[in-house]
Structure 1
Amino acid sequence: MTTPSIKARIQLGDNGVATVRTLIAHPMLIERNDPKTGARLPAHFIEEVEVTLNGKTAVSLECGQAVSTNPLVSFELRSVKTGDVIGIRWRDNQGKSDAGDFPVV
């Protein structure tokens, strides 16, 4: 499953450890000045990413302006089994957000 901004790939190992790779479509812009007008262009970046396993927080990340455009986040979760649901949610500094639930198959 994907959402408009989140793609995830989950690989479940025999030992109950899931490797999760998620790509979040986001510009991740730093605060800067327009080179032609000198006008201030505000920063626009993801501040928080939260990952849940069956509704319980498993991973919480805080991000800043130094993270690249369309960040790729990879991590491992333990005690995962087929049928579990991994939720991924992000929120940026302008109040925008997205979330998606990804079943483990």
Structure 2
Amino acid sequence: MDVQSRELTVTYKIVPPPSTVAPSSLSQETTHRFPIIPLPGLESKEDDDSLKKYYTSLRASIAEARTKLGEELTAWRDAVGNAELGKEKSVKAEADDEGEEEENTEE
């Protein structure tokens, strides 16, 4: 029986504002791999048990990935601080202005 190792792979690239001073523990480009137990061939009569173990392992890998990414992205958010706040307000203001322009042209 040929069993391949499986893993959940998550890759991200952060492009912070130039003024950001990130801790040395953070990397702008990161790939994480979270192992999943291999799923044996489905020829055996243990299919249900094997599938349950596989999906249990998959859920555990997804939970581990969420925790790891949550910690790192929170650290990035803290490192960026308020540098991005003005950017979001400006985008929202532009969207609001566009809505007002459309209303004015309909009259």
Pair member with larger Rg: 2
TM-score (norm 1): 0.30
TM-score (norm 2): 0.30
More helix by share: 2
